[in-house]
């Protein structure tokens, strides 16, 4: 029922879950703890969020909470399509400073598990794209940080050149000035 693939960032995983379809549409199980327990994956979400995005090219990121207050996230696309990115900000990780992207789309049966200590962002590839998050770890606004989406040190190869950004994301610091 669930296939788990290791991604190139330490501890990151791609979940592929069977999607049930019929004349009514589709149904998928986004999260079920008992499916992951036998695979030694421990994830206990403490909150859930949706990000509603009207325009194609909306970019949110790269967001994280300063160590040791990182949050593990399970991210999926509820409507539309997005290019979802994580960057490893854990200085004790073998993939420190590396990034990885996954294209997510509605009813694909795919979700990305992003380890605590990684920055996260996405850009919408279609209008009216909704991203769903299950999050493990307390939200602490005073620990929230942002790394500039187009930081030259990380050099994420975004599929957009002129994204729709919040003021906060547009003013985010580069790698050398960022507080991890």
- Is 63 noted as a catalytic residue in this protein? yes
- The torsion angle over the Cα atoms of residues 93, 118, 150 and 128, rounded to 10 degrees, is 150
Residue 103, C-beta contacts closer than 8 angstroms, at least 6 positions apart: 81, 82, 83, 84, 125
Choice among 55, 69, 133, 139 that is catalytic:
133
- Is 133 noted as a catalytic residue in this protein? yes
Q: Residue 36 is inside which H or E element, if any?
A: helix 33-36
Choice among 50, 52, 63, 69 that is catalytic:
63
Q: Enumerate the active-site residues.
A: 63, 133
């Amino acid at each position: 029922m669930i296939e788990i693939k290791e991604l190139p960032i330490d501890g990151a995983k791609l979940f592929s879950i069977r999607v049930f379809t019929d004349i009514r549409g589709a149904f998928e199980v986004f999260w079920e703890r008992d499916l992951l327990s036998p695979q030694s994956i421990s994830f206990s979400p403490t909150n859930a969020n949706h990000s509603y995005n009207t325009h194609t090219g909306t970019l949110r990121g790269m967001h994280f909470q300063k160590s040791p207050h990182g949050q593990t996230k399970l991210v999926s696309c509820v409507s539309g399509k997005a290019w979802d990115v994580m960057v490893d900000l854990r200085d004790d990780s073998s993939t420190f400073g590396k990034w990885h992207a996954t294209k997510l789309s509605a009813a694909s049966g795919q979700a990305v598990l992003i380890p605590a200590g990684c920055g996260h962002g996405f850009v919408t590839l279609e209008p009216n794209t909704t991203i769903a998050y299950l999050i493990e770890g307390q939200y602490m606004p005073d620990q929230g940080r942002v790394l500039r989406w187009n930081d030259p040190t990380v050099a994420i190869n975004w599929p957009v050149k002129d994204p729709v950004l919040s003021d906060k994301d547009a003013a985010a610091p580069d790698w050398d000035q960022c507080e991890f």
